[in-house]
Chains A and B, each alone.
Chain A
Amino acid sequence: MSVVSTDPLIFRQSTVEVPWPAVRWLWPVAGHLSRVGAALLLPAALLALWQLAVAQRWLPEQIFPAPALVWQSLVELWQSGELQSHLQISATRVGWGLLAGTASGLLLGFGMGLSRTVHAYVFPSFDVASQFPVLGWIPILIIFAGIDEALKIAAISIAVVVPVAVNAQKGIANIPRAWFEVARVYGFTRLQIVRRVVLPAAAPSLFNGVRQAVMQAWLTLVFVELLASSEGIGYLMVWGRQLAQLDLVVVGMLVIGVVGVALDVALRSLESRLQRWRISAF
């Protein structure tokens, strides 16, 4: 006999009775489908609302493109190759910025994390400088580097250095001293310590740092391209806005969103693959 529970809804446990054993295998599949369906409900509703708003002309056509128009522009840009070229340009900038920024960030972070001397001299200044918004650096950079590729890559690098260095340093600082003692007992060389103790132990923090860095890189890229650029996704949006072709703006936003999701997913799968190895090793 079961009793009606009067406990708050939030914590009520739901036990679903599976009707027939034969259908049991279907349950996880049905669960998965229902989850996907639920996830798509809101976007579908928003899309319908958007279409309705356009049809009813709640906002002027110039600033409120129809979904169909956005799709059409997307297809056109894709087929003409323009979208790919803009995307490639933006991606290249981000790529170089990430490379330069991550390298410097790791150097800085590891330096401050591993060497007490470096930490003492560098950390105070770094700590302050890292709290400056990257955007504050950009006007100065424009003066020195103009508005070409150098500016963009420099800005992105600066944006990337901070999270990478901060997380690298924190990751090393959080390594239990006990592990270093073990390494010392077994006579590890400096290189071995770095390879076998520091890197695996700091890996989660490093991944965190890289994830934040990617986000910051995109943030800065879009900002710089909106501010001063003649190509790239950001420029596409500026151009669209100036021509009152907001469908281009929306296309730009969608592309940025998709790339963002793709990068996030890629990073997470990479991380879980490496972490799995790491966990099993320990």
Chain B
Amino acid sequence: MSKLTDIQQDGLPNSPSGALSKIQWRGWVLPLALLVLWWLVTAQGWVNTRLIVPPANVLKVAVTTLSDPLFYQGVLFSVGRDLSGFFFGSLAGVLLGTLLGVSRLADRLIGPTFHTVRQISLFAWLPLLSSWLGYGELSKLVFISLSTLYPVALGTFEGVRSVTKAHAEVARVFRFSRMQMLSRLILPAATPQIATGLTLGLVYAWVATIGSEFLLANWGNGLGNIVIKGRAAFNIELIIFGMLAIGGVGVFFNRIAVRIESRALRWRGPRV
């Protein structure tokens, strides 16, 4: 129960300062009601408690797992995979997006192919990747990088294209070299859209991490594997706990990304 409310704590939206505590209180009603319903339904035996397990059991399993160092190792593995893939994918994405945005030739040559290949739903790559690279770390890493590449490249592309002629003329008057154009005008001007792309990329990276752990199951380490183990053992409590953990990390990443985004975009001023 503590784990659930922790997530809810992170999840509450910022209320305007000076708002009545009543308003924040209302957000708790629904989840608490569901929790109570859940407990009631299992306590009264209205459902098959092998399927719909009592919340207390989930809590027990949660406590057990959380005190198991192997769990944290698994989380670290998953997150590590995620961040590595995110790093490579973002780097490639920014490079590709900048190239397509800055060079009309590159856009004409590479753009159409990129936009078409992008339409192939990401998971469709896995059978091919697993055939070529196996079920190990490499195929997962490549997959996560690919998932990150698309949104980051798109965001960067749109950002680079959004540089106004007015600003470009100022740069010309001050004799900016090509390098200066890129580093002092184009990329800073594109930062809002790049940031959006990176946020989206972070979300996709986590989905890709978990998805690849499910589909390229190799009994290795990771959060996904915990859930798989739970499925194999028909340990519903473990599955639920795993699901909450996966979601929790997802929420956490999201929050961090939003916070970093707003700090980097301080110069835009207060947004509505």
- B128 CB–A CB distance under 8 Å: yes
Q: Chain A interface secondary structure, helix, strand, loop or mixed?
A: helix
- A124 CB–B CB distance under 8 Å: yes
A257-B119 in contact (CB<8A): yes
A241-B247 in contact (CB<8A): no
Measured in the bound complex, the distance between the Cα atoms of B113 and A142 in whole Å is 37
Cβ-closest chain B residue relative to A133: B207
- A150 CB–B CB distance under 8 Å: no
B250-A39 in contact (CB<8A): no
**Which A118-151 residues have a C-beta within 8 angstroms of B?**
120-125, 127-129, 131-140, 142-144
Task: Kindly list chain A residues whose C-beta atoms are within 8 Å of the C-beta of B128.
Answer: 246, 249-250, 253
Measured in the bound complex, the distance between the Cα atoms of B112 and A131 in whole Å is 31
Task: Kindly list chain A residues whose C-beta atoms are within 8 Å of the C-beta of B8.
Answer: 124-125, 128
A10-B102, A257-B119 given as contacts; is B172 within 8 A of A136 (CB)?
Answer: no
- A238 CB–B CB distance under 8 Å: yes
**Which B230-248 residues have a C-beta within 8 angstroms of A?**
230-231, 236, 239-240, 242-243, 246-247
Measured in the bound complex, the distance between the Cα atoms of B131 and A240 in whole Å is 11
- B266 CB–A CB distance under 8 Å: no
- B126 CB–A CB distance under 8 Å: yes
A124-B8, A218-B121 given as contacts; is B108 within 8 A of A135 (CB)?
Answer: no
Cβ-closest chain B residue relative to A257: B120
Q: How far is the CB of A278 from chain B (nearest CB, A)?
A: 22
Q: How far is the CB of A111 from chain B (nearest CB, A)?
A: 13
A260-B30 in contact (CB<8A): no
A219-B122, A227-B214, A261-B119 given as contacts; is B254 within 8 A of A123 (CB)?
Answer: no
B109-A240 in contact (CB<8A): no
Task: Kindly list chain B residues whose C-beta atoms are within 8 Å of the C-beta of A135.
Answer: 207, 210-211, 214, 246
Give the B interface residue count (CB, 8 A): 63
Query: Beta-carbon contacts of A214-246 to B below 8 Å, as 1s and 0s?
Result: 010011011100110000001001101100101
Q: How far is the CB of A196 from chain B (nearest CB, A)?
A: 24
A39-B123 in contact (CB<8A): no
- A41 CB–B CB distance under 8 Å: yes
- A43 CB–B CB distance under 8 Å: yes
A264-B119 in contact (CB<8A): yes
- B21 CB–A CB distance under 8 Å: no
Measured in the bound complex, the distance between the Cα atoms of B242 and A143 in whole Å is 14
The segment from B37-45, B62-70, B87-95, B175-183 found at the interface with A is B175-183
B121-A133 in contact (CB<8A): no
Task: Kindly list chain B residues whose C-beta atoms are within 8 Å of the C-beta of A10.
Answer: 102-103, 178, 181
Q: How far is the CB of A33 from chain B (nearest CB, A)?
A: 12
Measured in the bound complex, the distance between the Cα atoms of B178 and A42 in whole Å is 26
Measured in the bound complex, the distance between the Cα atoms of B125 and A260 in whole Å is 14
- A252 CB–B CB distance under 8 Å: yes
Q: How far is the CB of B49 from chain A (nearest CB, A)?
A: 13
Measured in the bound complex, the distance between the Cα atoms of B127 and A227 in whole Å is 11
Task: Kindly list chain A residues whose C-beta atoms are within 8 Å of the C-beta of B103.
Answer: 10
B102-A133 in contact (CB<8A): no
B250-A223 in contact (CB<8A): no
Cβ-closest chain A residue relative to B147: A219
List 17 A–B pairs whose Cβ atoms lie within 8 Å, in order of A's numbering. Answer: A8-B176, A11-B168, A39-B109, A59-B132, A123-B27, A128-B251, A133-B206, A133-B210, A135-B246, A219-B121, A226-B215, A244-B131, A246-B127, A246-B128, A250-B128, A253-B125, A260-B120
A residues near B, CB below 8 A?
Answer: 7-11, 35, 38-39, 41-43, 46, 59, 63, 120-125, 127-129, 131-140, 142-144, 215, 218-219, 221-223, 226-227, 234, 237-238, 240-241, 244, 246, 249-250, 252-253, 256-257, 260-261, 264
16 extra A-B contacts, CB within 8 A, seeds A8-B176, A39-B108, A257-B120: A8-B181, A35-B108, A128-B11, A131-B11, A131-B251, A133-B207, A133-B210, A139-B227, A139-B231, A139-B242, A226-B123, A234-B123, A240-B127, A241-B130, A256-B119, A261-B119
Closest 3 CB pairs of A and B: A124-B27, A128-B11, A260-B119
